[in-house]
A = this chain, B = another copy of it.
Amino acid sequence: MRIKALNPVHERTQNIMAFPRSDKFDHELLCLADTARALSHPGRLAILALLARRNECICGDIVEELPLAQATVSQHLKVLKEAGLIIGTIEGPRICYCVDWKAFEKAASGLANWFSGIQSRTSCS
């Protein structure tokens, strides 16, 4: 039973961590901002690093490792899932989380491209 990442990185986040229906800005900027927002908490960065290191974790593993309560970890996992960066697989009574590498790379290259795009737009280096 595979649970896909809720949102591909090229779409907007839907529930949590979504900007108030701001049609004021480009879709691209909104997506990048969403990605950055998903990465804007040290706990979520630590979760991603842990998932990468161990290849996969259940929620309890993460709770053991991080200085956060179970409910808090679960909330961060939800944010990461909605950002499309991680995947949850149901394995009996527990849920096995792992990084969605495809989406992760997409997010990484999205940010990297924006950075280099910005940098190339200057004349004085």
- Residues of A that sit less than 8 Å from B by CB: 19, 22, 24-26, 29-30, 32-33, 36-37, 39-46, 48-49, 52-53, 55, 67-68, 99, 101, 104-105, 108, 111-112, 114-116, 118-119, 121-125
Contact = CB atoms under 8 A, between A and B. Distances in A.
SS class, residues of chain A in contact with chain B: helix
A36 B33 contact: no
A119 B45 CA distance: 13
B121 A115 contact: no
Contacts of A118: 48-49, 52, 99, 104
Contacts of A104: 115, 118-119
Nearest to A115: B108
